[in-house]
Amino acid sequence: MRKATKRAGGGGRPQSAPDAAPPASARRLTRLVAQFPRARVLVVGDLMLDRFIWGDVRRISPEAPVPVVQVTRESVHLGGAGNVVANLAALGARAGIVGWVGRDAAGGVVRRLLGDLGADAGGVLVSDAATTVEKTRIIAHHQQVVRLDRESCRPGAGLERQLARRVARELARAQAVIVSDYGKGTIHPAMLDLLAERRDRDRFLYLIDPKQPNFAHYRGATLVKPNESETAAATGVAIDGPRALEQAATTLLERWQSDAVLISRGEHGMSLCRPGEPPRNFPAAAREVFDVTGAGDTVLAIAALALASGGTLEEAAWLANVGAGVVVGKVGTATLDPDELAAAVTEAIEHARGRARA
């Protein structure tokens, strides 16, 4: 739904002051973006198919008080962990994926779309026991009218063991590993133990997008990216101000033993939190929000590529925040390319300079 985006610090709750200054020069940040195609990232997570039905509404149904959508077109996109892969590919990086689909039409579409991106889909297993997770969104006049979800049982123990073997095989070729956990069964405690143990040994970059019921099992990541509601659910702390934010972040850092957590906070931007340091706050980069579908996947992809390209955590978080501001201005499951990101970086730095002079 289209709405104006409020700046960090606005609206209701007291917020800590945003860090307006970029963490590096425009030249440094755009050079990092230019390095993205050199990175190889392994994504481990829940694959989905996002189907969009687009149309117009001109009347209300005589059968019930609901809009009648006159369908004009349909489109399909990779969802879940697949959208992380799509973001990586759009930014020029080499991406591999470990996950599963059902032996069904939707699973065939997911595999075709991965192939179209040039992603290494050798780690995608096909299940006879479960159907591919599919989400159908009906969009009219840039607004989501309704969403239809199709999903069945989770993959069994046999498929879980096969997925773990694929992950162990693929780790040696990746600079960075992203866990994209949507709670559909690909990510489970044994998988997370494997990744934490291998990261302890090999010290690869390791990023996690968390989800219940695995909050108790994440460990040893470079960066974990919960949103505000996930942070509250994982800690029991309502994020109603800077003190609560710092308390919740301290709890997560200790529990997850991660180098940092990046908490996405909607209209208030993002907060990067590290042990023993106050949160660094990045104000929301979007001017208007059309659709937040998949924005977290964009954040994860950009952060991983920035770190793999030699960026600091601050640079990775800042770039990810700017990239998210671009994709939420698009409708549907969206990505952005390096030119869009570089242009957004330049605009954000010019905006920050304008604020500093004001």
Provide the annotated active-site residues. 297
Give the count of beta carbons closer than 10 Å to the beta carbon of residue 147: 12
SS3 label, residue 94: strand
Number of H helices, E strands in the chain: 10, 15
* Residue among 127, 286, 284, 259 at smallest CA distance from 203: 259
Strand pairing category for 270-273 and 260-264: antiparallel
The torsion angle over the Cα atoms of residues 320, 321, 322 and 324, rounded to 10 degrees, is 80
Strand pairing category for 260-264 and 223-224: parallel
State the maximum Cα–Cα separation within the chain, in Å, rounded to a whole number.
64
Residue type, 30: T
* Residue among 154, 135, 156, 155 at smallest CA distance from 146: 135
Strand pairing category for 40-45 and 133-140: unpaired
